[in-house]
C-alpha cells in the first residue's frame, strides 16, 4: 500500500474542486491555453522590448535570451513562460543553437535538472514550430 504525499493529496483535492465548480475544467490543458496567445511579430518585440527606447540598448533577441536564462535559472518550473519565450525567440531571429547554448550555459549555475527541463520545453516548441513550417 502506497501513501500519497501531502502534495499529491492537495492536487487531488484541487482537481475534485475544479470538477465540482465546472466539469469542463477536468480536461483543461495549460499547453492548449498557450495557443490562444499569439506570437508577437519581431518588429513589435523590437519596439517594446528592444531598441525602441534606447538605440544603444539590447535588442529584443538578446533580452529574450536573458529571459530564457533567468527562467532556466529558476529551474524551468514555469512551463508556459519557458515555451512562450522560446517561441518568441524564434520569431526574433534566434537560432535553435543559440537557444540551446543559452540553456546549456546556465546549467553551470542552475544545475543539470534545470537545464534538462528547459531543454525539454524548448525542444517541444522547436518541434511544434517545425510542424508549422511544413
> Which residues 6+ apart lie within 8 Å of 74 measured at CB?
110, 114
- How far are the Cα atoms of 41, 55, 81, 90, 93 from residue 50, in angstroms, in the given order? 12, 9, 19, 15, 13
Which grid cell sits at 92?
Answer: 526574433
pLDDT mean over 2-24: 79
- The number of helix segments (H) and strand segments (E) in the chain equals 7, 0
pLDDT mean over 2-26: 78
Average pLDDT over all residues of the chain? 82
Q: Helix or strand or coil: residue 25?
A: helix
With bands split at pLDDT 50, 70 and 90, how would you rate the model's confidence at 82? Answer: very high
- Cβ–Cβ under 8 Å, residues 93 and 41: no
Which grid cell sits at 120?
Answer: 525539454
Amino acid at each position: 500500500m502506497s501513501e500519497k504525499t501531502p502534495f499529491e493529496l492537495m492536487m487531488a483535492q484541487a482537481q475534485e474542486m475544479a470538477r465540482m465548480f465546472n466539469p469542463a475544467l477536468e480536461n483543461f490543458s495549460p499547453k492548449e491555453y498557450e495557443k490562444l496567445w499569439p506570437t508577437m511579430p519581431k518588429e513589435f518585440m523590437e519596439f517594446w522590448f528592444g531598441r525602441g527606447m534606447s538605440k544603444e540598448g539590447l535588442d529584443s533577441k538578446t533580452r529574450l535570451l536573458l529571459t530564457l536564462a533567468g527562467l532556466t535559472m529558476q529551474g524551468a518550473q514555469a512551463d508556459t513562460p519557458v515555451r512562450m519565450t522560446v517561441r518568441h525567440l524564434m520569431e526574433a531571429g534566434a537560432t535553435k543553437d543559440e537557444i540551446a547554448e543559452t540553456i546549456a550555459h546556465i546549467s553551470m549555475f542552475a544545475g543539470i535538472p534545470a537545464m534538462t527541463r528547459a531543454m525539454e520545453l524548448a525542444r517541444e516548441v522547436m518541434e511544434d514550430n517545425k510542424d508549422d513550417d511544413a
